Every structure is written in C-alpha cells, then in structure tokens.
Amino acid sequence: MERMNGANALVQSLIDQGVEIVFGIPGGVMIPIYDALYERPKLRNMLMRHEQGAAHAADGYSRATGKVGVCFATSGPGATNLVTGLATAYMDSIPMLAVTGQVKTTSLGKDAFQEADIVGVTMPITKHNYLLKDVADLPRTVAEALYVARTGRPGPVLIDVPADVSFAMTNYEPPGPVSPRSYKVWNEIDESALDDVARLIAEAQRPVLYVGGGVITSGASEVLTKLSEKTHILVTTTLMGKGAIPETHPHSLGMLGMHGTAYANKAVHECDLLIAVGARFDDRVTGKLAAFARKAKVIHIDIDPAEMGKTVQPDVAIVGDCKQVLEKLLDIIAPREETDWNKQIMQWRNEFPLHCPADEERLMPQCVIGKVWEMTKGEAIVVTDVGQHQMWTALFYKVTKPRRFLSSGGLGTMGYGFPASIGAQVGCPDMPVFAICGDGGFQMTLQELAPAVEHKLPIKIILLNNGYLGMVRQWQELFWNGRYSGVDISVQPDFVKLAEAYDAIGIRVDNLRDVEGALKRAMEVNDRPTIIDFRISREENVFPMIPAGQSIEEMMVNRPR
C-alpha cells in the first residue's frame, strides 16, 4: 500500500495492468496526470498533435499487437476530439481505453470551462464508460475497464476523471481480479449445436466459409485454415477478416461484398451452406439482403449473442469464442474431399481474375499496390485509410497473417490510416509498416507526421494521389451522370516539400518504371517516415463493384461503356 494522489494512482494502475505506452495530449485538468507520467516514466507517453490522432494510434496499436491501446485527452474539446476514434474502434470491436480529464466534481453540470459530458456523448460508441467520482474506486475501475475492453466482444472503454479526483489522496493498492456481476462473458458452447453444424457440413454440396474480424480477434486463424484444409471448404473474408487465412492459400477466395472478388461473391451467391464465423452480415457484405446467399442454409458462429438474428436469421447459431468453437468443430468434423463445387469456383476464378490494368502512359494504383505486395512479400503491416485506395489494397495486397492488415471497416473513417500506422509501428517496432492513404484522408490527420518524425518511426506512407475524393467521384461517375460535386481536391500541398518540412523524406513517382526504385529507397530508410506521392491515373475506378443495396446480378467487373 502506498499513499499517493489519484493521478499517480491512475498511472500506477495502468502500469500494474501491463500498459506500456499511452498516446495523448494534456490540457488543464490533465496536468496532474501528466505530472504523474513525469514521475513514473515506466509508462511511456507519446505526445500526439490532435486527440483524434491519439485515439487512432491507440486503435492501431491494439489491432497490430492484440493488446489494449490507451489514449489520454483533456476535458471538453480534447475529449470530444476522441469521438471519431472511439466510434471507429467500437464499430470494428477493437479493445481500447480512453482516459479523459474532467472538470472537478463540484463543477459538473455547471457549464464550467472546458466541460463536456463525455460519458453521455460516448455512451453509444463505447462498450462501457465510467465517470470516476471517488478516488477509492480508481484502481478497480482501471482494472475493470481494461478487462471489459478486451474480453467478450472487445470494444473501447472510457474513464472520465474529474480534476479533484486526480488531486485526492488515496492508499493505492493493486486490485485483485475483477469480474463485475453484471458483465457476462460467454464461455459455454452449445455442444448439440456443434453436432448440427457437423451434420449440415456433411450434407452440404456447396459450402462456403464466410469469415470476419472475430477470427482475428480470437486468434483462430490457424484452426480456421486447418478446418478449411480438412474439409476443402473455400474461405472468403470480410475486410476485417483479411489475414484470417493466408490470402496466398489456394483455399482463399479473397474478400467478398461490394468490392469483393467476383468469384467470392459468386460462391456465396450459389452456395447451399454459408458458414459465417466472427462476421456480422454488414450491408457492405450482403448488398440486397433478400438476394444474399438465398439458396443457403446459414450457420452463424460469433461471440456476441446479439449478432444472432440481427440481420440474418441463422439455421444454426453458436455463441462462443471463434477459436474455441472452431477447435471443437475441427475435432468432430468429417474430412471432405475436393468436389465439383471447388472446381466450379476455380473456374469462376479463372473467368474473372483480378488484374492490374496495364498502361504505359498512366500510373495505375492497382500496380502500385501489387508492387508493394511483391517487394514486402506480403509480410508487412499494412494500414489503410478509407476510400478507393483501401479497396485496391484489399483486392491486390494478399495478407498472409492475422493483424497485418488494419483498416477502418465499419465506420469507414477517413483520416484513420496514418495515425493508426503510428500505433502499429510503436507496437511492432521491428516490422515494416506501410500506411496506404489517399490524398483526401491523409490530409485529415497528417499533423501526426511530427510525432512520427520525433520518434523516428520509419513508416512508409504510400500516397495514392489522384487529386480527388476518389470513391465519391467514382459513385458520381457511375450513378450521378458524372456530376462531380465537391470532390476535386487537386489544389493541395506539394507532398514532397511537406515531407521535407517535417524532416521526413518525400519522393514523387508519376510512372510505373519508378515505382520499384522509390519503394526500395523508402524501405531502406529506418529513422523517419517516407512519403511517396504516387500521382496515379486520376479517374481510375475500383472494380469489381456491386452497387449499394443491389445483388450480384448488378455486379460491374469493368467500367460500363
């Protein structure tokens, strides 16, 4: 037991819970907490330049390492700046802890300077949140918050700490194990449902595995791959599921959905058994729900009971940790051989392959991504922003391991990619980290170049620059008669000079011949970020595409004439 103030107790609690780094920015009511960081350097502080960047960095750290990323922000505007980052993590079920300062308890509700009801604001975008009013509750609350964030279906948790709680003295003692009575983590698996699954798989003629981020979260990649190998059932993943099975594996069909591969979507459309594992039937996956996998029986395996029947009513539902469920399934399931169904899918793959459009004149973004893949052998951590470049990366960068592809899937947060890559690089200092961004999203959070330079992070920023908010432009081209409204952002900084202004490295590439050399140069840099400004063909589109709310019948494989 040690006598200390709340701020020190907070920092000590985080240290005792195994937290090594926080991403954050101080402010008036955070000074005691930052003073405690000064006192306790075991908890590293990475000073960001905007709280949104801090939240995304914590999120990227969580995704890349599987640990819980932590961010700090001050009361009022500092806290509200976290909102986008919390919502991003919440939509993708990413564990995260945000600690915000708050005005003192006696000022709460009085519209004090820099007061915002951040607990109220973040209620719908956090898994849980706390307003910490009593310093005595502090160690247990920190332990509980981290426990809630990482268990069950993970998610972000916020603790709001009023200034007087930071100042109040307490006898600090690390708390014992926490398990709030009202918090239920599902850990029994329905054995009879497992038998039903095994039977449905044995009876199926045309099964497909549809795999989401839950498989990554639960560490079920290996067992999933084994299951696919034992049964010869091919696997398509969601954006969040990329890396759940090596995409170089012959059983991988790549991503499905709006911009999924034609063969993955055809397989799902024609299958008679859809085995959904750690996925949630998002509208970007299903398109028109009534037409989605309509010939199929559905098995749904997920840790969140509320996902069962939320969008699609499964024939068999198993609530449980994906890894545990798949392990049990692997034991009881009968092996299957390759069938005509496998051949049929392979035929679709040959009929509708993904290809980089060859063009001598213009720089094609698909080829840039293809080159990045080639030169990293698919072994880098790739973090994307949101938009066309994200979908090109999803299609052309074959991820070979879990936690190597990080992207804002559910919320689709532009500005996510670069700060998230900072968290990933900090969490995995020995891994090559590539932030693949568009010029639109990168400009939303590029202020984080400063901490990236300060901490000598050798992140490679692959800027696919077309001078457009490209995905919106694509929709306007295809569905709005080419009326380009509010999408031209060709007035922009010189990104090479911008890099140099931050003391990072800037390279410009405007043709295919120079791509390899530029990447090679960037990969040799080990003490600062590099921006490669790829001036890509401006009006290149992402294909295949199934227009929103439609079915595979409306799939466009190429630009309509």
Contact residues for another protein (CB under 8 A)? Answer: 119-120, 123-124, 127-128, 131, 148, 180-184, 304-306, 308-310, 313
Least distance CB 305 / another protein (angstroms)? 5
Tell the smallest beta-carbon distance from residue 131 to another protein (Å).
Answer: 7
Rounded to whole angstroms, how far apart are CA atoms 443 and 469?
Answer: 11
User: Considering beta carbons, is residue 128 or 455 the nearer one to another protein?
Assistant: 128
Contact 162, 6 (CB under 8 A): no
> Cβ 15 to another protein, closest distance in Å?
24
110 φ, ψ (degrees, to nearest 5): -105, 10
Work out how close the CB of 129 gets to another protein at its nearest, in angstroms, rounded to a whole number: 9
Report the residue number, 121 or 472, with the smaller CB distance to another protein: 121
Minimum CB separation of residue 33 from another protein in Å reads 23
- Tell me whether residue 310 or residue 497 sits nearer to another protein (CB atom): 310
Q: Are 267 and 419 in contact (CB under 8 A)?
A: no
**Can you tell me whether residue 410 is helix, strand or coil?**
coil
Q: How far is the CB of 55 from another protein (least distance, A)?
A: 21
* Least spacing, CB of residue 309 vs another protein, in Å: 6
> Euclidean distance between the first and final Cα of the chain, in Å?
74
Residue closer to another protein (CB basis): 47 or 108: 108
> Cβ(393)–Cβ(300) under 8 Å?
no
DSSP-assigned letters across all residues of 499-516: HHHTT-EEEEE-SGGGHH
Which lies closer to another protein via its Cβ, residue 129 or residue 393?
129
∠45-49-53 over CA atoms, to 5°?
85
In the complex, least distance from residue 331 CB atom to another protein, rounded to whole angstroms:
29
Distance in angstroms (rounded) separating the CA atoms of residues 417 and 422: 9
Return d(Cα 516, Cα 526) in angstroms, integer. Answer: 18
Q: Taking the complex as a whole, how short is the minimal distance between the CB of residue 86 and another protein, in angstroms?
A: 15
* Smallest distance, another protein to C-beta of residue 56, A: 24
Find all residues with CB under 8 Å of 429, minimum gap 6, and list them.
none
Our CB check for another protein shows the closer of 73 and 131 to be 131
Shortest distance, position 24 Cβ to another protein, whole Å: 24
Taking only Cα atoms into account, the Rg of the chain, rounded to an integer number of angstroms, comes to 24
Supply the DSSP symbol for 28: G
DSSP lists the bridge partners of residue 438 as 464
Q: Is the CB of 145 or the CB of 505 nearer to another protein?
A: 145
Question: Which of 494, 235, 466, 215 shows the shortest CA–CA distance to 363?
Answer: 466
Residue with tokens 């008036």: 28
Order of strands across the sheet that contains 21-24: 44-47, 21-24, 69-73, 96-102, 156-162, 128-131
Q: Other C-beta atoms within 10 Å of 476: how many? A: 18
**DSSP character string of 100-143:** EEE--GGGTTTT-TT---HHHHHGGGSSEEEE---GGGHHHHHH
Neighbours of 160 (CB within 10 A): 24
Rounded CA separation 247/394 (Å) = 11
**Min CB(279)–another protein separation in Å:** 17
Q: Could you give the CA distance from residue 62 to residue 52 in angstroms, rounded to a whole number? A: 15
> Between 122 and 166, whose beta carbon lies closer to another protein?
122
**Do 541 and 555 contact (CB within 8 A), yes or no?**
no
Residue among 242 and 300 whose Cβ is closer to another protein: 300
CB 64 within 8 A of CB 403: yes
Of the two residues 304 and 327, which places its CB atom closer to another protein in the complex? 304
- Torsion sign (Cα): 500, 501, 504, 509: negative
**Based on CB atoms, which residue is closest to another protein, 308 or 525?**
308
> Smaller CB distance to another protein: residue 222 or 304?
304
C-alpha span between 480 and 482 (Å, rounded): 6
